[in-house]
Every structure is written in C-alpha cells, then in structure tokens.
Chains A and B, each alone.
Chain A
Amino acid sequence: MTSSPIRFVPGGRKALRDWRDDTKPLLKVDDLHVEFRTREGVAKAINGVSFDLAEGETLAILGESGSGKSVTAQAIMGIIDTPPGYVTGGRVEYYGTDLLAMPEKERQSVRGAQIAMIFQDSLSALNPVLPVGWQIAEMMRIHWGMNKSDAMTRAVSLMERVRIPGAAQRVNAFPHQFSGGMRQRIMIAMAIALDPAVLIADEPTTALDVTVQAQIMRLLEELQDERQMGLILITHDLGVVADVADRIAVMYAGRIVETGGIYDAYAAPSHAYTRGLLDSIPRHDQKGETLYAIGGLPPSLTRIPAGCAFNPRCRYATDDCRVGAPPPLVEVRPSQWSACLHAEEVIADAQR
C-alpha cells in the first residue's frame, strides 16, 4: 500500500480531542431509537439498534428499503431533519463520548471531520453550482481554517488519491461534468478529506454500473486499509459486501435481526429473513429457474406487527412469533446472533 502524504496534515485524526478516550471502542451504538412524527402517525424507524465498530473494521448493514439502515447512519451523523425525525433514545458513543448528548456546536466539529459519510446519488448529493474542488476544499477551510490556496492544493491531491485522472485540470469543473463513477470518487475524496476515523457509506454503489461498482468498492477497501478507518457499509446488495465486509448486521423494521461474521451469516444464516435475502440473489447454477423473492412487503413503520416483525412474510412462523415483544438477539452460535425463534431450524435448513 502506498503511504499517502495526506494523512499527516495537522488537525487530522491525529489531533485528538480531550474528550476522546482511546481505551473505549471507536463507535458504539447502544439501544438507538428514532421515530418520525408525520401526519399519518408516528413511524418507528429505529427500534433499539445496538452494534459497535472497531478501527479498521467493516460492518455491512443490510436490509430492504425502509428497514432503517439509512436512518441509523443519519442518526450517527446527526443529520436527521427535526421535525419530523426525533432520536428518542439510546446512545451513540464515539471513543466513549455520547454524541447524542453533545452540544450541537461541538457535534459539528465531529461531523465530517471524525465521522464522515458518502451518499448514494452523487449527482444530487454534490452542490450543482459549486466547483468540485471548492466543495472538497470547503472541508479543510471550515474545519481546519486552512487558507483557500492550501485547501485547493490538498483538494487536488485528494482527487488524485481517489484516482481522478487529470485532477489538477478538473478541480474547477462542476459535478455535472463528471461521470457517475468519477462523481462518487469526488464524494469519497470529500469524505476522507479530514482523515476521519469512521466512514459511513450509504449505498455508495447503487447508482453505478457493475464494473464501476467494483472499482469504487476496491477504492473504499484500499482507503480503509491505508487509514484504518472504521467503515459502515450500508447496502441492500449482498453481493457487493461479500468481499469487503468483516461483519454484517441485517436490519428489518428498525431492528437488527441477525448479526455476526460475514462468513457465518452467508454460509448458514440464522434468521429467516437473512435466509430469504440470500435466496433472492440470482445464481448461475439456477439459470432459467424462477428467481426467489420474499413474499409480501416490509411492514408499515406506523403499524409494526406484534412479535417478530417478519412473521407475516415468514415460512417458519408459528404462533409464538405473532405475539408479545419482538424476540431479542440471542447468540445462536459462537459470535453469530439472531433474533429468530426458529434459528436452529433455519440454520439446520441451510446446512442440509
């Protein structure tokens, strides 16, 4: 791995803040609750999500649209629009400090600088009327108080780092003058500009074609390796994460229903929903057969079913699944956790 000169610019991750306790985990999300108060009622988007993330680790958060994966990311970033969104409970600890309890001003200094985020649609996520170099340089100018020309120089080197050809010539170009892949690289350059400790990528490759997807994933992996960032990869595409992620967390109706090492989860899913997701990946050896799809739709977040939220769509569901509180995450095998009452059955099916 080439060592980048970018890393040691003063004020980067090396500039430790006094509230940071390095003995604590990089990121720890504990019993997070988020709801959206709309005219149609209260949508409970996140209902007690907990996970943690270590330096250099990649956590993939998987789930369908509306499962709460993006909202989790936005809650960590603190960019949920209030109203209608409210974080109603839980903690988001960054090196031991609860970001949710932090004054807004201090939180702004964490946002982008310590914890950065990449969005899905880079065309709309970049400001259309400002040059890309300017948008990258804004990070250094605001957070580090860098002067304009130094910030632009660094913007160019960041653009080179994410392998944008002719970066020096294109630094003053506008977002619409780049291809989708190049634009996503600019988003990445902007996100890593201040050498953050945590990078959240919200469906970073969804809007791109397959070959470009692979390039972007490789770039993210490489940057993470080089900087030992904690990476949260949000996606609904299980294929994309397979090579990159260390652990996965599968979300359904605002909860994590299965989490563990990626190999365990892929080899023998322990939740009926994970099983369904894996079965819906098109496979070469099933060419010509009907592609499996999980029946039904995700529940409305204003009316989440009692018991296991997945029960109306689940082929393993029994009466136990339809009543009471949602089943908790239980360690069904070493370091594999499942919130399925029929975990044993699901695993056994997978191993058959």
Chain B
Amino acid sequence: MGKYIVRRLLQMIPVLLGTTFIIYMMVFVLPGSPLDGKCGERPCPDAFVKKFEEEFNLDKPVLLRYLLYLGNLFRGNLGTNFYGNSVLDELRQRFPTTLELALIAVFFIIVVGIGLGVIAGIRKGRFADHLITVTTLILISMPVFVIGGLAQMVFGLKLGWFPVTATDGTFNQLLLPGMVLASLYIAYVARLTRTSLIENLRADYVRTAKAKGLTRGRQVGLHALRNSMIPVVTYIGLSFGGLMGGAIVTERIFNINGIGFFLYRSITQRDGVSVVGTIALIVIVYLFVNLLVDLLYGVLDPRISLD
C-alpha cells in the first residue's frame, strides 16, 4: 500500500513535466506577443519592448525559458506574470473559491445524481425512470453556458431565489453556480448509477440476500447499492478533476473570481506565465484526486489489489 502510493507519487513527476511542457510551448510558440495591445492603439516603444523582453526572458530561446521556468517551479515559485504579480499569490487568492465551488458541485452530484439514479434503477421501466432518463438526456445535450444562462435568468432574476452573480464568492452566492457546474455530471452519475444498480439487482447475491429473509430496503440499499457504487465513485472522483478545470465557463457566467475565471482572463490577455501556472495547479489537483480515487477503489472493491 505504502509502496503503491510512493510509486504513484513518483509517476506524477513525468506527467507534470509533460503537461507543463506542452502548455508552455503552446502558449509561447503560438504567434502573437504578450505586448500586443499593451500600449493602446500604437505599437509599444522599443525601449519598453526591450526592457519587457529582458525582464521575462522573452529574448532567450523558448526551450531555455522553459527550463528556467521549471527550475523555479520545483522551488515552488510559479513566477511573476506580465502584470508584475506573483502567480502563486494570484492562485492562492482564487483557489479557495474554486475549491468551494467544486465541493458544492460534488455535493450536488452525490446527493442528486446518485439519488435520481437509485430511484430510476429501482423503478425501472416505470414513469419515474422515464422522467429521469429523459431529463438527464436533456441536461447532457445542453451546453453549460445555456444551462448557466437559463438558471441565472430563471432562479436568479425571475424567481429571485439565488443571487445572480457570485462576485464575493460567499457560500450562498456559490450555490446556484455549484448546481449549474454539477448539472452535466448529475446527469451522467444518475445514468451510471441507474445502469449499475439495475445490473446488480439481477445479481445472484441479491437473490441470496432475499433468501436470507432481508427486507427489500436492505437487499437494495446495502447489498446491491454497495456493489453499484464502485463505478460511480470512480466516476465522481475523476469528475472532480474536471470540475476544477471546467469551472471556466461557470465562473465566467456568474462572475466568480476563481482560478477558472483567472485562467480565462490570462488566456485572452496572452499572459503565458499565469496560464502555465494555473494549468500546473489543475494538473496537480487532478493527479491527487486520481490517486485518492484509486485508493478508494481498493477499499470499495476488495477484489482489487493495489500491489
């Protein structure tokens, strides 16, 4: 177990190197310069360009710059962005908001997604099942910006149940964005839970549970559900990584000052250092969540051996 964790942690290093390399190259090799539009309508004065390029090593070859960046990265220094702010500070400021948003979303995914899936699964072929299957299909087919805009209009403006934007990032403000962010995953989790539960309800050990004289609730809720949750937990764990990155659209719709919004802004402003730093952070979170899911998998399914 311990050995396994160490091995997995070591495996993270090449992954992190690979992702940062690809992102770094994409950001800095692509045409265009961070100086575009920096000085209004006119091009920047040569002296400013020279100073800027020296400051950010833009005059050096891109590979060398990457290596320099990497050196800083392993010292925990994510560099300074083109606005003179420490990227680490920027992220540190915004990460808690995004994390909170993702946690709210995961909460809804677990409660609503699994709940709907279980209802559909045990009422297979009945009205509730059809209703849930169709609703989730609609959710899956709609892009997040449509769902977000609709939710903002209906629940925020028309009904006034929730704040329209979440500029301060308080819990109340993040509830609606959390639901919007969760909606797609709720649909997937509900469907996955349904399929998995239906499959497990047919299993022999559920028949055994019945023959043991257990109540229907215990047959389903304990014996079948315990087995059905194996793929669902895996999926939710992996989606958590996606939630961190996928918050870009949601954070923009609700004006949330999180890392998704920061990433979006950095991309449009060609603030390469910020982009690479943010993505490195998302990758690290993703990798750790992945490891956690794999460990949990071993707990949920004793047939899986981690060694």
Residues of chain A touching chain B, judged by Cβ–Cβ distance below 8 Å, are 77, 79, 108-113, 116-117, 119, 121, 124-130, 138-139, 142-143, 174, 176, 187, 190
Given A127-B227, A130-B226, decide whether A109 and B213 contact each other with a Cβ distance below 8 A. yes
Which residue of B207, B213, B215 is within 8 Å of A113 (Cβ)? B213
User: Given contacts A125-B207, A127-B223, are A142 and B212 in contact (CB under 8 A)?
Assistant: yes
Closest Cβ neighbor of B206 among chain A residues: A127
How far, in whole Å, are A109 and B214 apart by their CA atoms in the complex?
9
Kindly list chain B residues whose C-beta atoms are within 8 Å of the C-beta of A119: 204, 207-208, 211
Q: Which residues of B contact A109 (CB under 8 A)?
A: 213
Chain B residues within 8 Å of A77, by CB = 210-211
Stretch from B5-13, B278-286, B297-305 forming part of the interface with A: B297-305
- Tell me the B267-307 residues at the A interface (CB within 8 Å): 300-303
Q: Does B203 contact A (CB under 8 A)?
A: yes
B107 at the interface (CB under 8 A from A): no
Cα distance A106–B62 in the bound complex, in angstroms: 78
Chain B residues near A111 (CB-CB < 8 A):
210-213
* Extra inter-chain contacts (9) besides given A119-B208, A124-B203, A127-B209, CB under 8 Å: A79-B210, A109-B213, A112-B213, A127-B223, A129-B302, A130-B223, A130-B226, A142-B214, A190-B212
Confirm or deny: B218 has a beta carbon within 8 angstroms of a beta carbon on chain A. yes
Complex Cα spacing A139 to B214, Å: 9
Which residues from A are CB-within-8-Å of B209?
A: 127
Instruction: State the main secondary structure of chain B at its contact with A.
Output: helix
Contact A116 B218 (CB under 8 A): no
When the two chains form their complex, are residues B215 and A176 in contact, meaning their CB atoms are under 8 A apart? Answer: no
Known: A125-B205, A127-B226, A142-B218. A117 touches B302 (CB 8 A): no
B208 touches A125 (CB 8 A): yes
List the A side residues contacting B210 at CB < 8 Å: 77, 79, 111
Cα(A212)–Cα(B301), bound, Å:
28
Chain B nearest CB from A65 CB (Å) reads 16
Neighbouring A residues of B215 by C-beta, 8 Å: 108
Q: Is the CB of A112 within 8 A of B212?
A: yes
What residues of B have a CB within 8 angstroms of the CB of A128 in the complex? 205, 227, 301-303
* Residues of chain A with a CB closer than 8 A to B226's CB: 127, 129-130
Question: Given A174-B302, A174-B303, A126–B205 Cβ distance below 8 Å?
Answer: yes
